[in-house]
Amino acid sequence: MPRARARRSVAVLLAGALLLAGCAVGPTGTNGTRGASGSPDATSGVAPTLPAGVTVELVQLRADVAPRQAQVHVTNGSDQTLTIGEVRVEDPRFEGPATRVVAGRTSTVPAGRSVDVRVQLPDVDCSAPEDGEPEVMLELDSASGRAEMTASATDPLGFVAPLHERECREERLTDAAALAFTGFQESAPGEAAVLELTVTPTGEGEATIAGVQATNLLDFGPASVDGAYPLDLSIAASGTEPIVVELPLVPFRCDPHAVQEDKRGTIFDVRVVVEGEPGEIELFVGDELRGRILSWVAAWCGFG
């Protein structure tokens, strides 16, 4: 919810103040809870905050990276059951709010338990600084009604700032070229397969594609240098013809669990230089190629 809308909702939130009347709330904590009953101050117009003992974190696990999602981790340290409806994450580093992947779902969290609510991340806002702070709105139900409550969320894995930096670098890179994995050729066991990377210059900018790093599942065999396949591919401002690079691919490991539990094995870090600044972007092979690559690894390694 945009902050302007949040301000317009204050009057409605005040009407739901009794929601917190039964909550034992102590002194102010990191989630913004206040003393006494936790109800808003009618004279100050402060919206209700989370019951004491309820904490919120924003995390991104390995399985969340490819679909560009995250999870709101709510820990219920209060003495009552929480029923969570709408979930919304506001952060100035994103162009809009992150909301539930499955809209309309309700999460019930008994006292002493926790829940992870998966949210879809919006596009990054590259005009914003990298040191913002996420704020989470939870819609809580009780016998006395429903109210929206906000809390500052921690980012214990520190994923938002690097994501913002990486995706803004990728945005600047697209001024010079678009990158995509466009093909895959399987190979017999013991031989290298071929992963096709297509670099399409825009004819409007310059950049360098320095190399493609190996993953925890896939390697480039003898062609690897310092953990990456070197390219040193310069993109000229006048270029427009697509450049196709064939990357030799072999499994980094032959462990059935590596395939069965794969989460990041087909997401490659690409080393680039944009506007004279070296860095990395992430490039996913896509769902169709991912399935083919994982099947190839299983056959190459002789699973089953």
| 248 CB-near residues (< 8 Å, 6+ apart) | 192, 193, 194, 220, 221, 223, 229
At 304 the pLDDT is 61
What is the spatial distance between Cα 253 and Cα 301, in angstroms, rounded to a whole number?
9
The first and second tokens of residue 64, run together, are 């969340």
| pTM, 2 dp | 0.74
What is the spatial distance between Cα 7 and Cα 40, in angstroms, rounded to a whole number?
14
Backbone phi, psi, residue 200, to 5°: -115, 105
The first and second tokens of residue 291, run together, are 């399935």
Residue 287, CA distances (Å) to 62, 294, 298 in order: 15, 11, 17
What is the spatial distance between Cα 216 and Cα 264, in angstroms, rounded to a whole number?
7
Q: pLDDT tens track of the chain, all 304 residues? A: 333 333 333 333 333 333 333 333 333 333 433 333 333 443 445 557 788 899 999 999 988 998 999 999 999 999 989 999 999 999 999 999 999 999 999 999 999 999 999 999 999 999 998 888 999 999 998 656 788 999 899 999 999 999 999 999 999 999 999 999 999 999 999 999 999 999 999 988 899 999 999 999 999 999 999 999 999 999 988 878 999 999 999 999 898 887 888 888 999 999 999 999 999 999 999 999 999 999 999 999 998 6
| 302 CB-near residues (< 8 Å, 6+ apart) | 189, 254
What is the spatial distance between Cα 20 and Cα 241, in angstroms, rounded to a whole number?
63
At 238 the pLDDT is 80
At 7 the pLDDT is 35
At 144 the pLDDT is 63
Listing DSSP states for 146-208 in one string gives EEEEEEEPB-TT--HHHHHHHHHHHHHHTTTEEEEEEEEE---TTS-EEEEEEEEE-SS--EE
